[in-house]
Amino acid sequence: MIQNYNSKKLYERLPIYVHFLNSIQESNISSTTISKSLNLGEVQVRKDLALVSGKGRPKIGYSTKNLFKAIKKYMGMNHASKAIIVGFGKLGKALYDYAGFSELGIDIVQAFDISNTTDFVKDIKELDSYCLENEILFGILTVPSTEAQATAEKLIRCGIVGIWNFTSVRLNVPSHVVIQNENLAASLSVLVKSTLDKKVGNDYEKSNETNDSYTSKKH
């Protein structure tokens, strides 16, 4: 594949830029400044921006507004994507209440549970009708792991094609469905192991550095 670079890692960084651009006042911004503010590689930022946006100007940088729009367009953040949460427990509640997703064009429009139903938490039985009526594409799975596979299948039957999976189960789904596993336990383990590596292997700098887990890179 020639120069058609479209990667998961890129997709993770673009929202970070969006959040950053949202937070600044300047009407122009350079890739250099962005890279320093976010602890990312300078070349990497430039490459990312070049891919999604129009030209930048030497000595000036990019128009903040245009850059912002370009990234949002590229990521499909303009038309708000509607998502539902299934499993309104501790984690589901935290995610449901979090305001930061809307900045990225994602609205969590409804929560479902098998028992904790309230005004704004519907019974899981209503899943079908709700999803079909509202054309929901995304589901956030925060049910107990024992219920994970069965619940995922329910979601898929309702037309959901993207599942954010917080359970520890590796779901089995048809090929048209996208799964994003959010394995928090694994993630914490990575931190622990990386930290221990660093503490032990202080002989010379370990070559383990990656953009997201380590700090003080020499950009």
Partner DNA sequence: GGTATATCGATAGAGTTATATCGATATACT
Partner DNA sequence: AGTATATCGATATAACTCTATCGATATACC
Window 50 to 89, contacts with ligand NAD (CB under 6 A): 86-89
203 binding a second copy? (CB under 8 A): no
Show Cβ contacts of residue 83 under 8 Å, excluding neighbours closer than 6 positions: 106, 107, 108, 109, 136, 137, 138, 139, 140, 164
Q: Which residue from 126, 151, 129 is spatially nearest to 140, judged by alpha carbons?
A: 151
SS3 call for 28: strand
- Segment contacting ligand NAD by CB under 6 A, of 10-18, 48-56, 131-139, 160-168: 160-168
Q: Any contact of residue 46 with DNA (CB under 7 A)?
A: yes
Please tell me whether residue 24 binds a second copy under the rule CB under 8 A.
Answer: no
- Asked if 155 is part of the footprint of a second copy (rule: CB under 8 A), the reply reads no
Residue 215, both tokens: 């700090």
- Under the binding rule (CB under 8 A), the answer on residue 172 touching a second copy is yes
Q: How is residue 211 written in tokens?
A: 């953009």
DSSP reduced 3-state for 187: helix
Per rule CB under 7 A, is residue 16 in the interface with DNA? no
Taking the C-alpha atoms of residue 72 and residue 108, their distance in angstroms, rounded to an integer, is 18
Question: Is residue 147 within the footprint of ligand NAD (CB under 6 A)?
Answer: yes
Which amino acid is present at 43?
Answer: V
Question: What are residue 108's phi and psi, to 5 degrees?
Answer: -85, 105
Cβ neighbours of 81 (radius 10 Å): 18
| By the rule CB under 7 A, 32 interacts with DNA | yes
CB nearer to a second copy: give 30 or 165: 165
Identity of the residue, 60 or 196, whose beta carbon is nearer to a second copy in the bound complex: 196
Q: Which does 115 bind (CB under 5 to 8 A by kind): DNA, a second copy, ligand NAD, none?
A: ligand NAD
Least distance from C-beta 60 to DNA, angstroms? 5
Question: Which run of H or of E encompasses 179?
Answer: strand 178-181
Q: 203 phi and psi, to 5 degrees?
A: -55, -60
Contacting a second copy within 42-71 (CB under 8 A): none
CB closer to DNA out of 129 and 208: 208
Among 1, 185, 192, 200, binds ligand NAD (CB under 6 A): 185
Q: Which residues bind DNA (CB under 7 A)?
A: 1, 3, 5-10, 30-33, 41, 43-44, 46-47, 49-50, 55-62, 207-211, 217-219
